[in-house]
Structure 1
Amino acid sequence: MPSELKLGLIAGNGRFPFLLLDAARAEGRQVVVAAIKEETDPEINERAARDVGITVHWLSLGELSKLIETFQRAGVRHAVMAGQVKHKQIFSSIRPDWRLAKLLLNLRTRNTDVLLGAVAKVLGDEGIELISSTAFLEPLLAQEGVLTDRSPNEEERKDIEYGLTVATGLASFDIGQTVVVAAQACVAVEAMEGTDASIERAGELMRTLNSEDAQDAASTLRRSLTVIKLPKPRQDMRFDVPVIGERTLETMIRAGASCLAIEAGRTLIFDREFLVRRAADAGIAIVAVAPRMTL
């Protein structure tokens, strides 16, 4: 098969790799999957067993040389990253090979963007171009506007506007993509734990504040949670693209959140129809906003 029809897929966790895999195969691409032992769902093997156009190679997070060799042997010249790799995995569980160890020693900072950008450069130097992870999934990008039957109420709109200011400021530091707000107060900010864990933490905090013992002290925060998830101002769409799906929504429901704001055009929505129905059942409003849009 011509090399331009081959695609390398660096697969993290969740459904993202499977959606990208299906979209690439629908375009006639042969897909060479680099499955990460610490993250990728083993179901990817079953998917490959049913489709001769898919091959799967398992490797660990720190095996950068093996990744390059795998793609080069298969004749891969273009690759995508799809699926989350937990930040704490990258910085705690990783056992770097010589090539990655050398790269890590030369990093000016140890945040995810810098690390993945450096990996992308190494791949490029070896003849493997890393392309946008949305290249095959543009129909799944959020369109601007209210996505649910219910629009954010006045209190939620205030929380979104405040949360946009906080999230935009934090995003430039590559700390995280998510801010959780209640009554124009910042309840939680995403760090290495990831979006869902930050929402869960906000829910736990609000349950504590709203408990009977803390009722008087928490009177100013007795509100529902609003979740704001934004890409970075100069988001590199080759990796770490914001994604929302069933897991995010179910986490919001458990945490007692009532509203979700995302950025239009740069956030992927998985299972949109299901998500809208489930949000309606739970009374959750979802809105896709332009950067710094006034609501």
Structure 2
Amino acid sequence: MAGRLAILACGGALPVQLAAAYPDAMQITLNGIPSELVGTAQSFQLEKFGTIFDAMRTAGVTRMVFAGHLARPPLDPALFDATMMRIAPGLMQAVVKGDDALLRHIIGIFEAEGFEVVGAHELLPDLAVSAGLHLGPAPTTAEEADITRGFDILDGLAPLDLGQGCAVAGGLCLGIETIQGTDAILRYIGTTPEALKRGQRGVYVKAPKRGQDLRVDMPAIGAQTIEAVADAGLAGLVIAEGQVLVLGADRVKSAVEERGIFLISRSV
């Protein structure tokens, strides 16, 4: 029988859904990192990492899940406890290598302390869209070419540990998602002059980095993403099947229908 679960909750709706599905889970938030579970969770200082491990063991936790958007708050070395002093050098080296490298390192820290790290998609399997999702109109021949181009771009960027999405119109890359996130790049794409799109509306493609550990930072979309894609003037959104979480599926479907774009899952 699996031991008690801990939810390390950052920003967004995913931690809330996990907490609702696993009401007996220990809820953990970190000072300086926004979370919608504030008020129901135990909050800890990142500088005092040892207190997190101690509290998890006291609560009978044996497995944990990272959920939500993990920001990078400033750290005060003067406040480091003994555990943080021990792990800080490795963290600092991982920080400069990109998000996936950093998150893999953090997973390793928790595993070294004896905790099993599981993915949100393992705990809420219905959120990861399988093959065959197709809402809205069919992509045109040109849009199909842009979809292929988008996945090729993301595949090529994977070794650089960059973002999880890009927009393509008429074969041209309109933008690549980086640390600012999906909404920010879609707002920027919305400012693209029509003349640069070669007469095409374009598409947004979202997928994890090739080889990414899906236990942390698994790509996710919600109704807000659909609205942002439509506001950017794009024809639709394509996601990697089984590798992108859809939060609030009913609201997502309604948004797709109301805005007249498409939402499709594809194998990568």
TM-score for the superposition, normalised by structure 1: 0.81
Q: 1:243 to 1:108 in 2, by over 3 A?
A: closer
Shift, 1:231, TM fit: 0.8
1:116-149 CA distance string (max 9 Å, x none) = 2111111112111211221211111112224203
Number of aligned residue pairs: 262
Match of 1:147 among 134, 143, 150: 134
Taking structure 2 as the reference length, what is the TM-score of the superposition? 0.89
Structure 1, unpaired ranges of 5+: 49-55, 211-217
Task: Map Cα deviations across residues 16-67 of structure 1 (whole Å, 9 max, x no partner).
Answer: 0011112223xxxx2111113333335542xx4xxxxxxx211244543332
- Alignment-derived partner of residue 160 in structure 2: 173
Note the aligned Cα RMSD (angstroms). 2.1
What residue is the counterpart of 2:31 in the other structure?
37
CA distance in 2, matches of 1:256, 1:105: 40
Partner of 2:50: 65
Match of 1:245 in 2: 222
Secondary structure in structure 2 of the residue aligned to 1:145: coil
Report deviation, 1:175: 0.5
Asked whether the 8 Å contact 1:8–1:80 carries over to 2, the reply is: yes
SS at match of 2:121: coil
Q: How does 1:4-153 map to 2 (within 5 A)?
A: 4-25=2-23, 30-45=24-39, 48=40, 56-86=41-71, 89=72, 93-95=74-76, 97=80, 98-107=85-94, 109-153=96-140
Deviates more, 1:35-44 or 1:253-262: 35-44
In 2: Cα distance, 1:277 partner to 1:114 partner: 36
In the alignment, the residues of structure 1 paired with residue 114 and residue 14 of structure 2 have an alpha-carbon distance, to the nearest angstrom, of: 25
**Aligned equivalent of 2:183, options 190, 193, 196:** 196
- Paired residues of 1:18 and 1:44 also in contact (CA < 8 A): no
Deviation, structure 1 residue 284: 0.8
42 and 261 in structure 1: CA distance in 2 versus 1, 3 angstrom threshold: closer
Identity, % of aligned positions: 26
User: What is the rounded CA distance, in whole Å, between the counterparts of 1:108 and 1:244 in structure 2?
Assistant: 25
Report deviation, 1:94. 4.2
Moved over 6 A (4+): none
Amino acid at match of 1:22: A
